[in-house]
Amino acid sequence: MFTPKYPPPDTAPAATETTAATNTPAPAAPTPSPAPVVPVSNRPTVQLTPGSAIALAAGGGAVVLVVGAVLVSMLLAVAITATSVAVCAVVLRFLLNAERKH
């Protein structure tokens, strides 16, 4: 399952030429590799007009403002909750200390 799968080896016979003078095989000339084929995209291209670019920038700015407002409100809610818990702890401590002294 995890072993690599290699393509089968090329089974074409190697072309060798012999020269008449030396009677030795000459190396075969390398065949040129085909040019890579560029795939044609079926997706339409998007062209931004100045109006759509401004609308896109305004929409992005609005998203940033909304996300910022939500994050600030969450931080404010955590701060208010922490402050109220701290005040309750101080009041309870005061009440318990006053009860122990009397």
Q: What is the pLDDT of residue 71?
A: 98
pLDDT digits (tens, 9 = 90+) for 17-76: 555 555 566 666 677 777 777 777 777 877 889 899 999 999 999 999 999 999 999 999
- The answer to whether the beta carbons of residues 26 and 18 sit under 8 Å apart is yes
Sole residue written with tokens 């818990």: 85
Q: What is the pLDDT of residue 28?
A: 66
Give the span between the Cα atoms of 48 and 69, in whole angstroms.
Answer: 29
Q: What is the pLDDT of residue 46?
A: 79
pTM above 0.75, yes or no: no
Strand locations in the chain, DSSP E?
Answer: 17-18, 25-26
